[in-house]
Amino acid sequence: MPIPFHTAPHADEELRGALAGLLDGLPPRQAAGAVERLITHYRGKVPTGAPVLRDRADVVAYAAYRMPATFEAVRAALGALADRAPGFDPADHLDVGGGTGAAVWAAAGIWGDGGERTRATTVLDWAEPALALGRELAGTSRSAALRAVEWRRARIAPGGELPAAELITVSYVLNELTEDARHGLVDAAAASGRAVVIVEPGTPAGYERIIEARGRLIDAGLRVMAPCPHGDTCPIEPGSDWCHFAARVGRSSLHRRVKGGSLAYEDEKFSYVAAVRPEVAGTAAGARIVRRPQIRKGQVLLDLCAGPDARRGGLRRETVTKRHGPAYRAARDADWGEEWDGGRDDGRDGERDAGRDEA
Ligand SMILES: C[S@@+](CC[C@H](N)C(=O)[O-])C[C@H]1O[C@@H](n2cnc3c(N)ncnc32)[C@H](O)[C@@H]1O
């Protein structure tokens, strides 16, 4: 099971509805052809010198085929930030390389409209067709914040600055940038955001970009809130593994047409980092579950990344057995990507410690 998401005030259902209506008017073969082109492109050479999303067919294909997954991944990352900084409710949001607006729908899913003062949101992207479709989709929403989003054409380039915003999101974009532009964007986000959330595909290369960005955010004075329980060096040995999570995504009819098979869902793998400026109240989790828990007869194996305050920090495996009562029940319900507090209230810490293994 994926990370437990905050249940959005209708954002996910609304987005699904808006996307379902999209394919009307686009012949199925044209939609499938545009999806194939996108897939081929993303397997090939990125970054490019010009937008990949060139016309309506491209952006409809992107929105129908990829946006549900990027929405769920960003929603999970923003949800993890909201869990660790419960008082944080961004008054404004800047989504850089926002395309058709997955991250602004995700923010609406986590924080609603932003309370009494409707959140002011700006999406920056160089692909005009993506911005136009994003505007069209958000225009169908009941959320005042979504309807009021400003969709602005802008190119991300090395040395560029960003306007200040309480929340800056950069989702599935770093891969499309040159190294200079990537560094420049992360540094600009660190300089201008009170909270910065960066999401990439959950691949070894995506994780490497996240780790690099995480280092730059820390160097700029931000504090990591999620997923890491600490701001130290990532304990994963470079090249040996990669930190990633999964978000469950319902498959659309277009998905099934392009990918075949009849599965009703798939898991979007993603890597992310959420960091905040020192004045934002909150703390990182004590430990996070970094693999799908393994449920065996009478025991659950949890692979954890733990912070320096834990008895043993870094990566470790915790075995929780039936004897541990409430902790065992909590472990059986625990999901990949969730925080883990050891099922603390059962008063049997000693026994549980005895069951700990090295990862
Ligand atoms: C894979 S899409 C991700 C879109 C959206 N953030 C999401 O999560 O669904 C990458 C986006 O980055 C934009 N992009 C790539 N390079 C850019 C650049 N140099 N300047 C502005 N936008 C760029 C693309 O146009 C596209 O909309």
SS3 per residue for the chain: CCCCCCCCCCHHHHHHHHHHHHCCCCCHHHHHHHHHHHHHHHHCCCCCCCCCCCCHHHHHHHHHHCHHHHHHHHHHHHHHHHHHCCCCCCCEEEEECCCCCHHHHHHHHHHCCCCCCCCEEEEEECCHHHHHHHHHHHHCCCCHHHHCCEEEECCCCCCCCCCCEEEEEEECCHHHCCHHHHHHHHHHHHHHEEEEEEEEECCHHHHHHHHHHHHHHHHCCCEEEECCCCCCCCCCCCCCCCCCEEEEEECCHHHHHHHCCCCCEEEEEEEEEEEECCCCCCCCCCEEECCCCEEECCEEEEEEEECCCCCCCEEEEEEEEHHHCHHHHHHHHCCCCCECCCCHHHCCHHHHHHCEECC
Q: Where residue 44 falls among pLDDT bands split at 50, 70, 90?
A: low
pLDDT at position 358 is 37
Overall average pLDDT of the 158-174 stretch: 96
Question: Residue 97: CB within 6 Å of ligand 1?
Answer: yes
Question: Residue 102: CB within 6 Å of ligand 1?
Answer: yes
Overall average pLDDT of the 197-219 stretch: 97
The C-alpha atoms of residue 248 and residue 252 are separated, in whole angstroms, by 13
- Residue 20, pLDDT > 90, answer no
Give percent above pLDDT 90 in the chain: 66
Q: Where residue 357 falls among pLDDT bands split at 50, 70, 90?
A: very low
Cα-only R_g, the chain? 20
Question: Residue 127: CB within 6 Å of ligand 1?
Answer: yes
- 124 Cα to the center of ligand 1, angstroms: 9
- Residue 266, pLDDT > 80, answer yes
Overall average pLDDT of the 301-313 stretch: 87
Overall average pLDDT of the 22-35 stretch: 74
The CATH code belonging to domain 11-276 is 3.40.50.150
Overall average pLDDT of the 193-221 stretch: 97
| 151 CA to centre of own chain | 21
Report the residue among 176, 177, 183, 197 best suited for mutation to probe ligand 1: largest number of ligand atoms under 8 A from its CB: 176
pLDDT at position 310 is 77
Residue 97 Ramachandran class (φ > 0 left, ψ -120 to 50 alpha, else beta) = left
Least confident of 185-189, 218-222, 296-300, 313-317: 313-317
- Nearest-CA residue for ligand 1 atom 11 is 97
Report the residue among 53, 71, 125 best suited for mutation to probe ligand 1: largest number of ligand atoms under 8 A from its CB: 125
Point out the ligand 1 atom lying closest to the alpha carbon of residue 98: 6
- Nearest-CA residue for ligand 1 atom 12 is 97
- Residue 171, pLDDT > 90, answer yes
Tracing tokens 């160089």 back to the chain, one arrives at 126
- Residue 143, pLDDT > 80, answer yes
Tracing tokens 């686009």 back to the chain, one arrives at 26
Overall average pLDDT of the 186-203 stretch: 98
More confident residue, 272 or 258: 272
Q: Are the beta carbons of 38 and 30 closer than 8 angstroms? A: no
Q: Domains of the chain: which residue ranges? A: 11-276, 287-357
Q: Are the beta carbons of 275 and 214 closer than 8 angstroms? A: yes
pLDDT at position 3 is 38
Least confident of 1-10, 58-67, 228-237, 249-258: 1-10
More confident residue, 23 or 97: 97
pLDDT at position 207 is 97
- Residue 350, pLDDT > 60, answer no
Q: Pairing state of beta strands 265-276 and 193-201?
A: antiparallel
Overall average pLDDT of the 310-320 stretch: 88
Overall average pLDDT of the 229-234 stretch: 94
- Nearest-CA residue for ligand 1 atom 26 is 99
Q: Are the beta carbons of 202 and 192 closer than 8 angstroms? A: no
The C-alpha atoms of residue 75 and residue 70 are separated, in whole angstroms, by 8
* Average pLDDT of the chain, as a whole number: 88
Question: Residue 71: CB within 6 Å of ligand 1?
Answer: no
- 144 Cα to the center of ligand 1, angstroms: 24
| 68 CA to centre of own chain | 12
- Residue 82, pLDDT > 90, answer yes
pTM: 0.91
The C-alpha atoms of residue 327 and residue 117 are separated, in whole angstroms, by 41
Overall average pLDDT of the 203-219 stretch: 97
The C-alpha atoms of residue 110 and residue 5 are separated, in whole angstroms, by 8
Rank 37-51, 256-270, 320-334 by mean pLDDT and report only the highest: 320-334
Overall average pLDDT of the 97-123 stretch: 91
Q: Give the type of residue at 326.
A: P
Rank 23-32, 183-192, 256-265 by mean pLDDT and report only the highest: 183-192
- Residue 7, pLDDT > 50, answer no
